[in-house]
Amino acid sequence: MHIEKLTPQIGAVIREINLNEKTTDTLIEKIKEAFYNHLVIFIEDQDIDPRQFIRFSKHFGELGAYPFVKGMDHFPEIVEVRKKKDEKINFGGLWHTDTSYLPEPPASSILYAVEIPPVGGDTLFSNMYLAYENLTPAYKAILSNLRGYNTSDKADAAVTRTHRMADSPKNTKSIKTSAFHPIVRTHPITKKLSLYCSNAHTTHIEGMSNEESKGILQFLFSQQTKEEYTCRYKWKKGTIALWDNIACQHNALNDYHGFERVMYRITHRGAKPY
């Protein structure tokens, strides 16, 4: 297995492994190590079917479910992230961490690139450890006890689900899609602190009005997406990306109108943030 950093801050590309062959515990441990070190890893040149994708995904945690869109027929664990040729809106096309409005948001997510446009449709990722670490001690002290209100209702995020909800709607009545979470959370595995709020889902800070929260949140949203904390991945068909939803955010670029893009998406269950 060959690992190459994508940037000094975040992201690594993994080559020279074949997930059609039996995966050993040692290989999975090496992949996990790369994942925790680089926050998002891209395993290139794989040719696997949905069953193999599910089997591989299970090495990284218990599989979760996406609240708004049904999974594939026969493979309910997989949600198809599809943008059709004639559609203008893409899924996940803004900076976010996946479904952070759930009381127990997913710990990580995994995508498999099934069909990609000839050019465009890259995904950006940003390092939330660095976004936190590079704040001043005084600002960290202000944030230390704050909780953000996260909801699925923010218009810019809600619109990105439109087409897929129209195709494969799921009954979400019994699912809670809003939650207060600490703005600074501790990663349960690495024990490092990261910034956990997002322009996509966080509306205000607990105990403050939207107006009072605005100054803090706008500053944090721009801090989270500073270019020096990010990487950009140009997809190849057959790449598997695995990212940490506690320690990074991502943004699927929507610059490929007129072409189809299809990804298989699975999330891993997470715990209540602390």
72 in Cβ contact with 42 (< 8 Å): no
Is-contact 148 206, C-beta < 8 A? Answer: yes
Q: Among 14, 41, 43, 81, which residue sits at the site for ligand SIN (rule: CB under 6 A)? A: 81
Choosing from 161, 164, 185, 265, the residue that interacts with ligand SIN (CB under 6 A) is 265
Which candidate, 124, 160, 163, places its Cα nearest to that of 241?
Answer: 124
Nearer to ligand SIN by Cβ, of 56 and 147: the residue is: 56
The only residue of 78, 240, 248, 252 in contact with ligand SIN, by rule CB under 6 A = 252
Q: Which C-beta is closer to ligand SIN: that of 43 or that of 111? A: 111
DSSP 23: P
Q: How far is the CB of 248 from ligand SIN (least distance, A)?
A: 12
Q: What secondary structure letter does DSSP report for 199?
A: T
Q: How far is CA 128 from the centre of its chain?
A: 12
Binding mask 202-241 for ligand SIN (x = CB under 6 A): ----------------------------------------
Residues forming beta bridges with residue 231, ordered by sequence position: 125
Tell me the closest approach of the beta carbon of residue 188 to ligand SIN, in angstroms: 21
Cβ 273 vs Cβ 150: under 8 Å = no
Task: Return the structure tokens found at 75.
Answer: 């493979």
Provide the β-strand partners of residue 248: 127
Q: Which listed residue (42, 68, 91, 95) binds ligand SIN by CB under 6 A? A: 91
Q: Which is nearer to ligand SIN, 103 or 117 (CB)?
A: 117
Interface residue with ligand SIN, options 40, 128, 200, 263 (CB under 6 A): 263
Stretch that binds ligand SIN, among 90-98, 129-137, 150-158, 206-214 (CB under 6 A): 90-98
Q: Please tell me the distance from the alpha carbon of residue 28 to that of residue 230, in angstroms, as a whole number.
A: 25
Return the residue of 97, 99, 123, 239 that touches ligand SIN, per CB under 6 A: 123
Shortest distance, position 267 Cβ to ligand SIN, whole Å: 8
242 binds ligand SIN (CB under 6 A): no
CA–CA distance from 235 to each of 55, 128, 252 (Å)? Answer: 22, 22, 11
Cα distance between residue 210 and residue 154, in whole Å: 13
Return residues touching ligand SIN (CB under 6 A).
81, 91-92, 98, 109, 111, 123, 250, 252, 263, 265
